[in-house]
Amino acid sequence: MATAREPEYRDGHGFIAEVIRTRRSKTADIRVEDGAVSVVVPLNTPAEKIDQLLVTKRRWIKEKIALQQEATPVRAKRYVSGEAFSYLGRNYRLKVEAGNFAPVKLVNGRLVVTVPGGAQQPHVIRNALVRWYKRQAEQKLLEKVTRYAPMVGAHPAGVGVRSFKSRWGSCTAKGAVEFNWQIMMAPTRMVDYVVVHELCHLIRHDHSQAFWREVERVMPDYQQCREWLRENAAKLVFESP
């Protein structure tokens, strides 16, 4: 079994870019999602070439980040130490430290973010947290799909994590299930419901009574979960600084 690579980051001077190395990529591809920048490159691309690409595309990247920040409602979050962030229904306090950019860590009940400039760069802190939530989503949702798929009797072609504006998950035409990473802010039981819901769509592609019977067979309390998500959806939004 291949070992997971350590997260790799490059300083874009105003943003931090996550480097994703893959054998499947022949050329470099820059992505800006939820204000977070990533660069997908062939496996052995030198760091110097990545830095050069970021310099070349810097204006485009900054424009993309600005547009995404404008599209996200401005709320109360300031991304400073002491603020609370929900993860699987439990609140964790943010601790911001100044230093070389490092992946977010959950330590002693605190979300520790280390970025150059510390609290002086709230958008960089937000982007670091977004990356952390997405990584947790990739791991936890795969675990939950593996657990519930045999109960549902469904066999998804794959499991993905995406950014959705108004839904918690979906099924692709190829039979894969995809989930909104922001569901990781909800309590665990709500995450379970979303997983079961999408797996049941692999059997029933509508919201007929037969579909809901499939959901109820695995989760008798699904109606309470559905109602909780309906009432609390507005709170499960990753706010802009």
- Residues 230 and 152 reside in one and the same domain: yes
Please list, in sequence order, all residues whose beta carbon lies within 8 angstroms of the beta carbon of residue 35, skipping any fewer than 6 positions away: 65, 68, 69, 72, 123, 126, 127, 130, 240
Q: How confident is the model at residue 139 (pLDDT cuts 50, 70, 90)?
A: very high
CATH (domain of 140): 3.30.2010.10
**Tally of domains in the chain:** 3
Q: How confident is the model at residue 4 (pLDDT cuts 50, 70, 90)?
A: very low
Mean pLDDT within 176-187: 96
- Residues 91 and 60 reside in one and the same domain: no
- pLDDT of 74 higher than 60: no
With beta carbons less than 8 A apart as the criterion, state whether 50 and 64 touch. Answer: no
Question: What range defines the domain where residue 137 resides?
Answer: 133-235
- Residues 66 and 110 reside in one and the same domain: no
Q: How confident is the model at residue 212 (pLDDT cuts 50, 70, 90)?
A: very high
Three-state SS sequence of 167-222: CCEEECCCCCEEEEHHHHHCCHHHHHHHHHHHHHHCCCCCCCHHHHHHHHHHCCCH
Q: How confident is the model at residue 151 (pLDDT cuts 50, 70, 90)?
A: very high
- Residues 51 and 122 reside in one and the same domain: no
- Of the CA atoms within 13 Å of residue 11, those in its CB half-sphere come to 8
Model confidence, pTM: 0.74
- Within a domain: residue 240? no
- Residues 153 and 222 reside in one and the same domain: yes
Full strand arrangement of the beta sheet holding 84-87: 84-87, 90-98, 110-115, 102-107
Q: How confident is the model at residue 240 (pLDDT cuts 50, 70, 90)?
A: low
- Residues 164 and 228 reside in one and the same domain: yes
Please list, in sequence order, all residues whose beta carbon lies within 8 angstroms of the beta carbon of residue 167, skipping any fewer than 6 positions away: 180
Q: What is the pLDDT of residue 186?
A: 95
- Residues 108 and 159 reside in one and the same domain: no
- Residues 138 and 110 reside in one and the same domain: no
- Within a domain: residue 176? yes
Last residue of a domain, one of 22, 50, 71: 71
- Within a domain: residue 191? yes
C-alpha 166/C-alpha 38 separation (Å) is: 23
Please list, in sequence order, all residues whose beta carbon lies within 8 angstroms of the beta carbon of residue 83, skipping any fewer than 6 positions away: 77, 93, 94
- Within a domain: residue 146? yes
- Residues 192 and 139 reside in one and the same domain: yes
Mean pLDDT within 4-19: 77
Q: How confident is the model at residue 140 (pLDDT cuts 50, 70, 90)?
A: very high
At 33 the three-state DSSP class reads: strand
Q: What is the pLDDT of residue 17?
A: 87
- Within a domain: residue 3? no
- Within a domain: residue 228? yes
Instruction: Report pLDDT digits (tens) over 44-56.
Output: 899 999 999 999 9
- pLDDT of 213 higher than 80: yes
- Within a domain: residue 96? yes
- Residues 39 and 91 reside in one and the same domain: no
Instruction: Report pLDDT digits (tens) over 104-135.
Output: 999 999 999 998 877 777 888 888 999 999 99
- Residues 125 and 137 reside in one and the same domain: no
